[in-house]
């Protein structure tokens, strides 16, 4: 059973979320302040965090930022009355996996949680590239989906979960062009109403991390006006 931590200062909303997710066989706990929530996160290490932005003692954005400094893998769903585009983009760029605005449908929230875990577990169990345990090998670049590890020349690249999934998607089909919309639908899901330009920021970060270890900056190519593709001449890239 998945353990979900909800940080929400409205007790009625917190209770509604807890009862709904508990009835769906999740183990749900609720914290009503940021300080209490961070303490619960460190103690319980939940499988998912549902985070309100407007908390009485601290900004939820800061909580997201603090968690992402040391934890790139725990899924974070932001739940907020802030519906301005800048707030949504900021939350997602900091590493949130979804952004749901209030008022919201509790059934939709449950559905998004269900879909996320199904997709996540499906990716973890999938096999890619024909190598043992689904490992993708592209020249000096190796992507290990079991250990969630990326290496170049056996040097580990520190990469976030979403960056890993995007790189895995592109490297799994060298030469294939992926539009931003295709990447969004594959990684975040078709139900997610996101921002295609956010993909550019993720690609920029992936490139910067790969390029620090490799002298070759063309692992991922930009196809202007369309999207991105993984270089299908990867075997000719210098070590």
What is the CATH architecture assignment of 127-236? Orthogonal Bundle (1.10)
CA proximity to 42, closest of 19, 8, 74: 74
Residue 128 CA to residue 145 CA, distance in Å, equals: 8
Annotation: CATH topology of 3-124:
Rossmann fold (3.40.50)
Q: Based on the number of CB atoms within 10 Å of its own CB, is 96 exposed (0-12), middle (13-18) or buried (19 or more)? A: buried
Q: Where are the domains of the chain?
A: 3-124, 127-236
Q: Which strand ranges, in their side-by-side order, compose the sheet holding 3-7?
A: 27-31, 3-7, 48-52, 76-80, 98-101
Please list the residues that pair with 7 across neighbouring strands: 31, 51
Counting other chains too, the contacts that 33-39 makes at CB distance below 8 Å and 24 or more residues apart are: 33/7, 33/9, 33/57, 33/58, 34/7, 34/58, 34/59, 34/60, 34/62, 34/63, 36/7, 37/5, 37/7, 37/63, 38/63, 38/66, 38/67
**Model confidence, pTM:** 0.65
CA distance 204 to 209: 9
Per-residue pLDDT of the chain (239 residues; tens, 9 = 90+): 899 999 999 999 999 999 999 999 999 999 999 999 999 999 988 999 999 998 999 998 889 988 988 887 788 999 988 777 777 777 777 778 888 888 999 999 999 899 888 877 665 554 444 444 578 998 889 998 877 889 988 888 888 888 898 999 999 999 999 998 888 888 877 555 556 677 888 898 899 888 765 555 578 999 988 899 998 886 655 55
């Amino acid at each position: 059973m998945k353990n979900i931590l909800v940080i929400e200062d409205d007790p009625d909303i917190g209770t509604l979320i807890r009862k709904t997710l508990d009835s769906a066989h999740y183990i749900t706990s609720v914290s009503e302040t940021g300080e209490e929530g961070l303490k619960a996160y460190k103690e319980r290490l939940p499988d998912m965090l549902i985070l309100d932005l407007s908390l009485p003692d601290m900004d939820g954005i800061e909580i997201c930022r603090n968690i992402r400094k040391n934890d790139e893998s725990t899924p974070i769903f932001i739940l907020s009355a802030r519906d301005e585009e800048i707030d949504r983009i900021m939350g997602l760029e900091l590493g949130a996996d979804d952004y749901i605005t209030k008022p919201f449908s509790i059934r939709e929230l449950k559905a998004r949680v269900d879909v996320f875990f199904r997709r996540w577990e499906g990716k973890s169990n999938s096999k890619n590239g024909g190598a043992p345990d689904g490992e993708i090998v592209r020249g000096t670049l190796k992507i290990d989906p079991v250990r969630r590890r990326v290496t170049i020349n056996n040097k580990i690249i520190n990469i976030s979960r979403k960056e890993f999934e995007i790189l895995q998607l592109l490297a799994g089909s060298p030469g294939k062009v992926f539009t931003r919309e295709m990447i969004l639908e594959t990684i975040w899901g078709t139900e997610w109403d996101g921002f295609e330009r956010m993909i550019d920021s993720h690609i920029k970060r992936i490139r910067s991390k790969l390029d620090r270890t490799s002298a070759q900056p063309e692992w991922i190519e930009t196809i202007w006006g369309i999207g991105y593709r993984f270089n299908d001449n990867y075997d000719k890239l210098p070590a």
